[in-house]
Amino acid sequence: MIAAIHSNAGVTVANIDAAGHVTGRSLYLDDLPVMEGTLFAKVLDSTVAHGTIRELDLQGARAVDGVVRIYTAADIPGQNEIGGIIADEPLFADKLVQFQGQPIALVVAETEEIAAEALALIRVTIDPLPVVTDPRDAFAQGLLLCKSRVFQKGDASSAFARCSHVFEGRAETGGQEHLYLETQGAYAYPTEGQGLRIYSSTQGLRHVQETVAHVLGVGMHQVEVDVTRLGGGFGGKEDQAAMWASMAGLAAWTLRRPVKCIPHRMEDMRMTGKRNPYQSDYRIGLDANLKIQAFEATYFQNGGASADLSPAILERTLFHGTNTYDIRHVLLTAHSCKTNLPPNTAFRGFGGPQGMFVIEAAIDHAATVLGIEAAVVQEANLLRDGSEFAYGQVVAGSRARECWEQAFDAFDIEHLRAECAAFNQANRFLKKAVAVMPVCFGISFTNTMMNQARALVHVYWDGSISVSTGAVEMGQGVNTKMLQVAAAVFGVHPSRVKVETTNTTRVANTSPSAASATADLNGKALEIACKEIRDRLDAVARAHANSTGPVVISNEQVTVGGMQTDLTWSALVKQAFFQRVSLSAKGHYATPDINFDKTIEKGHPFAYHVYGTSVTTATVDCIRGTYMLDAVRIVHDFGTTINKAIDLGQIEGGLVQGIGWMTMEEVVYNDAGRLLSNALSTYKIPDIYSVPRIVDVRFLETDGHELAIKGSKAVGEPPLMYGIGSFFAIRNAIRAFNPAASVPYSAPITPEKVLMALHSRKP
């Protein structure tokens, strides 16, 4: 309905990708028609996690019929360097290999089968060096990827002395494989002169463009990057898409032929980094009223062999180290540890979930010893307006208490607990329990510079509209939101608007589609561009109506000064064109009023925060160690959502991904640095049976925030952290079976761990 798009009340516009997705017509990278002369590239990766290459024998592989060329570090015309934040990551290992899965060579052949056949004939001899896979070991050896960081507020060390209760312990969280349905990949083809066009499955076009240019030793202007959509990114394609694009780009540029480089699932799994595992120490101090007076944590982030995005992820761990709690004295220390694993990277939440798990573990520890519900401690410490985060931002517009209180009311948590108690009375080997998880997540890239975006809008003279932004559609529905923004400014039917592919020649210097900020940043830029054209059209309409009144375009009808005119949208556009008025505009947006000073680790880095509270009920089978999530009930702060269906999808997807991380997804490397969970047979992700039987999401509708697009708050990452509640619900159910159980704060809490814990005793 046309009327729907004028309202900002969350009236749903169907996701514009839905029909294409369900009919298989949506175009992904590997669906692009193959150009004549296309070659296929396959990467040879190291089977040794640390060592020096003694010999690389390419003879046999070169002799294979149909092999066109084999590339190594020596064949790079520019720099053998693809690091995003720190220049510490070679495209091809050159003498030194630092992880299993690290690229050593690239075989380019007439077919993929020939490339694979040749790959098997390459002989590599590597002299092994000691392998480090554990971040604490790496730290002990001084192996760090970047400077350690400390966030400090008040004086934690002296505050502990005044606390009635002090608890300390350890917490750890595992890695997480992105498992985007579409693997990484790139398709590069040469254009005239020195040019290259690259179709990439990337969230970060600028990084791909810049990296390929750097590897080739040319300017960014020679490299055009185009993205139709991704079959999921989840952070895994924020930085790591650059490697595949560089491979395809290198071959296409030197051979002047189109080259495709798309890894198979198992290649993707072993060669790319995952969510950073963390090991952490905590100390928490409470006063007699259960106010947390002091909190200290030290985080050992497992970064892998190169920095990739780990330094920025480390920073977000610090930002979210106190989750949604107001704590007077805080001392957080974070180390990014260098190990011989594939470089770990962004994953939904970007270090935030890892930090939040630690404080939730600390609170749970305190509650367990004090014999109270963790929720009592959580509630006593929820953020209020005016309190200050450890990084100096003053809390404003906090919805922490509203979400919490509405969750308690709407879901009657006392009743849920009573139900569990009654169930546990009646069942000896099945136990149920509840856990509450409040979340507060900061919206903006933590690197202030990255909070900018641009858009390019053309109104064609038939009244149809072309929209380009820096936003990448990866399933999160951002294109639909962009379409809604444009249609609303122009007052036209959504079918007038085409959201174009994301392309570096139309929109330059993009920040990655990440940090949940894509719709905010690109939507604001788009709104600016559309309004500029609208202003020009309004002037034409006023002249036509001989009036100075305000112009309203609604349902494609033009009203001036409250009077209906004879102008429709398309007549107005045509008239403007005949008057030689420009029907194109660019918009640029930079989030105002944000800053962060790393020298003192203080500032106002976030445009706003998103809040919510989840209530999880779990049932544990105390004979088998298996479990089921009965229900997750959520009150979430959406602001004034512009698309309820899409935002609800984000909550459900994020929640289930968080549950997977906390309960079943177990990334396992052996001591030699070999990925054992290297396929879907050995790496378990949630399926439909793992989805909670009840997922009940309530919309906390508020005025939104002026820095959120149309007041519709960012929604991509925050819901992942509701999944943390599943760990604690399962833990509580174990303790309902065995009150003396020792349940380490070690996620994922797999059925094996549950079974061990059920029958354990506190030391």
- Per-residue mark of binding to ligand MOS, 494-533 (x: CB under 6 A): --------------------xx------------------
**Residue 637 binds ligand MTE (CB under 6 A):** no
- Which amino acid is it at 331? L
**Residue 445 binds ligand MTE (CB under 6 A):** no
Query: Which of the choices ligand MOS, ligand MTE, ligand HPA, none does residue 312 contact, using the CB cut-off of 5 to 8 A by kind?
Result: ligand HPA
Count of residues in contact with ligand MOS, rule CB under 6 A: 10
Which window, 259-267, 443-451, 542-550, 582-590, contacts ligand HPA (CB under 6 A)?
Answer: 443-451
**Residue 476 binds ligand MTE (CB under 6 A):** yes
The answer to whether the CB of 123 falls within 8 A of the CB of 61 is no
For 287, phi then psi, to 5°, come to -90, -175
**Residue 445 binds ligand HPA (CB under 6 A):** yes
Q: Which residues pair with 639 in a beta bridge?
A: 701, 712
CA 452 – CA 473 distance, rounded (Å): 18
CA 105 – CA 71 distance, rounded (Å): 5
Other CB atoms within 10 Å distance of the CB of residue 579:
12
* Token pair listed for 399: 């919805």
**Residue 276 binds ligand HPA (CB under 6 A):** no
**Residue 643 binds ligand MTE (CB under 6 A):** no
Other CB atoms within 10 Å distance of the CB of residue 409:
10
Give whole-number Cα distances, 97 to 54, 183, 426, 587, in Å.
11, 24, 58, 45
Which window, 132-140, 381-389, 445-453, 464-472, contacts ligand HPA (CB under 6 A)?
Answer: 445-453
The answer to whether the CB of 294 falls within 8 A of the CB of 117 is no
Q: Which residues pair with 588 in a beta bridge?
A: 454
Other CB atoms within 10 Å distance of the CB of residue 61:
21
Reported as type and span, the H/E element at residue 570 is helix 569-578
Residue 343 or 512: the one with the smaller Cβ distance to ligand MTE is 512
Q: What is the DSSP string of 715-745?
A: -SSGGGGGGHHHHHHHHHHHHHH-TT----E
Which residues, 6 or more positions from 430, have their beta carbon under 8 angstroms from its beta carbon?
Answer: 423, 619, 620, 621, 622
Q: What share of the chain is helix, strand, coil (3-state, %, to 5)?
A: 35, 25, 40
Count of residues in contact with ligand HPA, rule CB under 6 A: 12
* Token pair listed for 522: 């690109």
CA 572 – CA 537 distance, rounded (Å): 7
Window 281 to 340, contacts with ligand HPA (CB under 6 A): 309, 312, 316
* Token pair listed for 381: 């410490």
Helix residue spans in 112-155 (DSSP H): 112-119, 135-140
DSSP category for residue 450: G
Window 334 to 373, contacts with ligand HPA (CB under 6 A): 346, 350
Residue 592 beta carbon to ligand MOS: minimum distance, rounded to whole angstroms: 21
**Residue 736 binds ligand MOS (CB under 6 A):** no
Longest dimension (CA), the chain: 86
Which window, 86-94, 149-157, 342-350, 706-714, contacts ligand MOS (CB under 6 A)?
Answer: 342-350
DSSP category for residue 442: E
**Residue 348 binds ligand MTE (CB under 6 A):** yes
CA 366 – CA 165 distance, rounded (Å): 8
**Residue 235 binds ligand MTE (CB under 6 A):** yes
Residue 604 or 731: the one with the smaller Cβ distance to ligand HPA is 604
Residue 307 beta carbon to ligand HPA: minimum distance, rounded to whole angstroms: 12
How would you classify the pairing of strands 465-469 and 497-499?
parallel
Residue 178 or 633: the one with the smaller Cβ distance to ligand MTE is 178
Please identify the residue of the shown chain whose CB is closest to the bound ligand HPA.
Answer: 515
Residue 68 or 714: the one with the smaller Cβ distance to ligand MTE is 714
Residue 450 or 560: the one with the smaller Cβ distance to ligand HPA is 450
Residue 511 beta carbon to ligand HPA: minimum distance, rounded to whole angstroms: 8
**Residue 519 binds ligand MTE (CB under 6 A):** yes
Q: Quote the distance between the C-alpha of residue 63 and its chain's center.
A: 43
Q: Is 81 a catalytic residue?
A: no
For 708, phi then psi, to 5°, come to -95, 145
How would you classify the pairing of strands 602-604 and 329-338?
unpaired
**Residue 341 binds ligand MOS (CB under 6 A):** no
Other CB atoms within 10 Å distance of the CB of residue 344:
30
* Token pair listed for 450: 């990255």
- Angle at the Cα of 437 from the Cα atoms of 388 and 11, rounded to 5 degrees: 90
Helix residue spans in 625-761 (DSSP H): 644-663, 724-737, 751-758
Query: Which of the choices ligand MTE, ligand HPA, ligand MOS, none does residue 447 contact, using the CB cut-off of 5 to 8 A by kind?
Result: ligand HPA
The correct pick among 5, 334, 346, 483 for binding ligand MOS (CB under 6 A) is: 346
**Residue 516 binds ligand MTE (CB under 6 A):** yes
The correct pick among 203, 298, 302, 640 for binding ligand MOS (CB under 6 A) is: 203
**Residue 347 binds ligand MOS (CB under 6 A):** yes
**Residue 303 binds ligand MTE (CB under 6 A):** no
- Per-residue mark of binding to ligand HPA, 494-533 (x: CB under 6 A): --------------------xx------------------
Residue 516 or 677: the one with the smaller Cβ distance to ligand MOS is 516
Residue 330 or 515: the one with the smaller Cβ distance to ligand MOS is 515
Backbone dihedral region for residue 562 (phi beyond 0: left; psi -120 to 50: alpha; all else: beta): left
Q: Which is it for the CA torsion 89, 94, 99, 100, positive or negative?
A: positive
For 292, phi then psi, to 5°, come to -75, 115
Which window, 45-53, 322-330, 508-516, 615-623, contacts ligand MTE (CB under 6 A)?
Answer: 508-516
- Per-residue mark of binding to ligand MOS, 218-247 (x: CB under 6 A): ---------------x-x--x---------
**Residue 319 binds ligand MOS (CB under 6 A):** no
Which window, 453-461, 509-517, 740-748, 755-763, contacts ligand MTE (CB under 6 A)?
Answer: 509-517
Residue 238 or 621: the one with the smaller Cβ distance to ligand HPA is 238
From 117, 360, 717, 752, active-site residue: 717
CA 231 – CA 241 distance, rounded (Å): 13
CA 294 – CA 501 distance, rounded (Å): 49
Count of residues in contact with ligand MTE, rule CB under 6 A: 21
Query: Which of the choices ligand MOS, ligand HPA, ligand MTE, none does residue 653 contact, using the CB cut-off of 5 to 8 A by kind?
Result: ligand MTE
Other CB atoms within 10 Å distance of the CB of residue 645:
16
Residue 478 or 525: the one with the smaller Cβ distance to ligand MOS is 478
Residue 350 beta carbon to ligand MOS: minimum distance, rounded to whole angstroms: 4
For 667, phi then psi, to 5°, come to -85, 120
CA 702 – CA 511 distance, rounded (Å): 28
Residue 540 or 720: the one with the smaller Cβ distance to ligand MOS is 720
Please identify the residue of the shown chain whose CB is closest to the bound ligand MOS.
Answer: 235
Residue 514 beta carbon to ligand MOS: minimum distance, rounded to whole angstroms: 3
The correct pick among 474, 525, 530, 741 for binding ligand MTE (CB under 6 A) is: 474
Residue 521 or 551: the one with the smaller Cβ distance to ligand MTE is 521
Q: Contact positions toward ligand MTE, by CB under 6 A?
A: 232-235, 348, 474-476, 478, 513-519, 650, 653, 714, 716-717
Active site residues: 717
Contact residues toward ligand MOS (CB under 6 A) are 203, 233, 235, 238, 346-348, 350, 514-515
Chain residues in the site for ligand HPA (CB under 6 A): 238, 309, 312, 316, 346, 350, 445-447, 450, 514-515
